């Protein structure tokens, strides 16, 4: 099927490449000329496992092209909207300017029967508004939220755990759903649940899923606070809770909390939209979820300060990790970088290292020190803080090796990802988050 993907960021570039890999003829559109040039050259503009391979394959097959001209989207049967919806400056709501700009650009090129499939995370009610905007063109709006995780984006796009398509309950909506069923035929045939809803429910599924995940993480981080006050161990607690199949162990990883381009801004936008709808109190708990999350960063800083005897001024601190999570170079709202920035603000000599996100971090926070080599970051450090659980730190860093490089054997495990006993046995003072 001929399709366009408008917006080629973390979501759109992966979607475009994945759709081409399953046989569709795809044009990706983005306003950023440099990004378009990189994608056309088969080079991923950000770190995402398997994306380069798919871009190269798409280029060689001739089924995947990128352009900065919206006119090149003309003739596609489906237009996927994958532009960003960041937090508005100075507020909590979602900024829909890129969504509206995409529709403005697309309008002159739409033909009757075209399907616009929204993938961007939007406040409930947006799809219906966009449907009104494009009504005269004869195009149909459906909503097809995306649940991919960065670092697993290719995997999650090609083998999603469910597909959700929201549409108006009329003939045009039914046709839109049928077109999307055809787009995802391979996954549907492989048994992926395909849920058809109204527009509002489809938009809400995404907001609700992210709100639930954020709540689960903050729940266990709230338990970490109680564990800290009572001498319990939150990691053992999470294991015990996780065996209850109604609860499950995933997303019960206590630590410095969630970050990234989605969960933090999405729960704020969700709460802001609920307030607009006069139902703010229904999701009032999301403010608490946000507050718990932010308190964990402060807690990590406090652990470092306490471990260094109350003063970090002039002390050298190695921060292992900058990306908001492993297998990503994304530093948007990275809890780990926030911890690094706060420590620097207290006068510490902070050296950050990360296998993928160092350039992004250095561009955003030039006041921090950086080392490309993990060993250089560790050398002469008075304390070490792990903020992103990359395999390079979690699995491959031995306490004996690190102990030979640092000045002080103090480690703060911001992700509870290390074997505490092994580090203690090697003479380290180990501090986890909510752990004994």
> Which positions touch ligand UDX (CB under 6 A)?
146-150, 210, 213, 217, 251-253, 255, 257-260, 262-263, 324-325
Cα–Cα distance list, 202 to 140, 197, 242 (Å) = 15, 6, 29
Query: In the 8-state DSSP scheme, what is residue 88?
Result: P
User: Dihedral sign, CA of 48, 50, 55, 56?
Assistant: positive
If the CB atoms of residues 148 and 348 are measured against ligand UDX, the closer one turns out to be: 148
Quick one: 58 or 336, whose CB is closer to ligand UDX?
Answer: 336
Q: For residue 67, what are the β-bridge partners? A: 29
Least distance to ligand UDX from the beta carbon of 14, Å? 11
**Which of 292, 148, 114, 126 has the alpha carbon at shortest distance from 220?**
292
Active site positions, annotated: 262
Enter the tokens of residue 84: 């960003």
Closest approach of ligand UDX to the CB of residue 146, in Å: 6
Q: Whose Cβ is closer to ligand UDX: residue 325's or residue 409's?
A: 325
Token pair for 181: 């069923």
* Nearer to ligand UDX among residue 291 and residue 311 (C-beta): 291
Specify the residue, 58 or 261, whose C-beta has the smaller distance to ligand UDX. Answer: 261
Cβ atoms of residues 284 and 215 within 8 Å: no
Q: With residue 21 as reference, give the H or E element that holds it.
A: helix 12-21
Which two three-digit tokens encode residue 333?
């709202």
Cα separation values, 434 from 292, 294, 297, 375, Å? 13, 15, 13, 28
> Residue 373 CB: number of other CB atoms within 10 A?
9
Task: Report the residue number, 15 or 92, with the smaller CB distance to ligand UDX.
Answer: 15
Query: What is each CA distance from 300 to 35, 331, 384, 400, 436, in whole angstroms?
Result: 36, 18, 11, 23, 15
Coil, helix or strand for 297?
helix
Handedness of CA 408, 409, 410, 416 (dihedral sign): positive
Provide, rounded to whole angstroms, the least separation between the CB of residue 242 and ligand UDX.
10
Q: Minimum distance between the CB of residue 332 and ligand UDX, rounded to whole angstroms?
A: 9
Among residues 21 and 221, whose Cβ is nearest to ligand UDX? 221
Positive/negative CA dihedral, 137, 143, 144, 150: positive
Cα pseudo-dihedral 335, 341, 346, 352, rounded to 10:
100
| Assigned token pair, 11 | 């979501």
Shortest distance, position 121 Cβ to ligand UDX, whole Å: 8
Task: State the nearest-atom distance from the C-beta of 303 to ligand UDX, in Å.
Answer: 16
Q: Of all residues in this chain, which one has the CB nearest to ligand UDX in the complex?
A: 253
Burial of 50 (C-beta count, 10 Å sphere; 0-12/13-18/19+): middle
The pair of structure tokens assigned to 238 is 């999470």
> In sequence order, what are the beta bridge partners of 351?
318, 369
CB of 270 to ligand UDX, least distance (A): 12
Contact 354, 322 (CB under 8 A): yes
Least distance between ligand UDX and beta carbon 330 (Å): 8
Q: Which is nearer to ligand UDX, 111 or 162 (CB)?
A: 162
């Amino acid at each position: 099927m001929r399709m366009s993907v408008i917006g080629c960021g973390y979501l759109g570039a992966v979607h475009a490449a994945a759709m081409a890999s399953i046989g569709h003829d795809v044009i990706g559109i983005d306003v950023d000329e440099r990004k378009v040039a990189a994608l056309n050259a088969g080079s991923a503009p950000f770190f995402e496992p398997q994306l380069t391979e798919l871009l190269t394959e798409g280029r060689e097959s001739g089924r995947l092209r990128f352009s900065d001209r919206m006119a090149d989207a003309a003739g596609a049967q489906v237009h996927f909207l994958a532009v960003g919806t960041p937090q508005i400056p100075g507020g909590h709501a979602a900024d829909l300017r890129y969504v509206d700009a995409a529709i403005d650009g697309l309008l002159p090129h739409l033909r009757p029967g075209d399907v616009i499939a929204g993938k961007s995370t939007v406040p409930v009610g947006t799809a219906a508004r966009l449907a009104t905007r494009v009504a005269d063109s004869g195009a149909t709006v459906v909503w097809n939220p995306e649940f991919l995780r960065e670092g697993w984006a290719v995997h999650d796009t090609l083998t999603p755990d469910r597909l959700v398509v929201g549409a108006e309950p009329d003939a045009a909506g039914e046709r839109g759903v049928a077109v999307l069923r055809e787009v995802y035929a391979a996954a549907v045939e492989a048994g992926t649940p395909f849920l058809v809803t109204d527009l509002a429910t489809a938009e809400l599924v995404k907001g609700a899923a992210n709100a639930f995940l954020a709540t689960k993480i903050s729940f266990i981080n709230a338990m970490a606070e109680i564990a800290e006050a009572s001498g319990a161990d939150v990691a053992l607690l999470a294991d015990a809770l996780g065996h209850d199949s109604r609860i499950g162990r995933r997303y019960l990883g206590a630590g410095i909390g969630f970050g990234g381009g989605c969960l933090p801004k999405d729960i704020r936008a969700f709460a802001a939209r609920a307030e607009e709808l006069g139902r703010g109190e229904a999701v009032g708990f999301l403010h608490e979820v946000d507050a718990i999350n932010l308190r964990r960063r402060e807690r990590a800083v406090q652990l470092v300060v306490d471990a260094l005897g109350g003063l970090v001024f002039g002390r050298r601190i190695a921060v292992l990790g900058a990306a908001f999570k492993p297998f990503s170079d994304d530093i948007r709202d990275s809890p780990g970088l926030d911890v690094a920035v706060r420590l620097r603000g207290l006068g510490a000599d902070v050296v950050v290292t990360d296998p993928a996100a160092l350039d992004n971090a250095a561009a955003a926070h030039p006041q921090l020190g950086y080392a490309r080599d993990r060993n250089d970051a560790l050398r002469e450090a008075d304390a070490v803080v792990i903020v992103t659980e990359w395999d390079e730190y979690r699995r491959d860093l031995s306490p004996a090796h690190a102990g030979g490089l640092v000045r002080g054997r103090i480690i703060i495990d911001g992700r509870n990802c290390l074997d505490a006993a092994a580090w203690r046995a090697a003479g380290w003072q180990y501090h986890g988050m909510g752990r004994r």
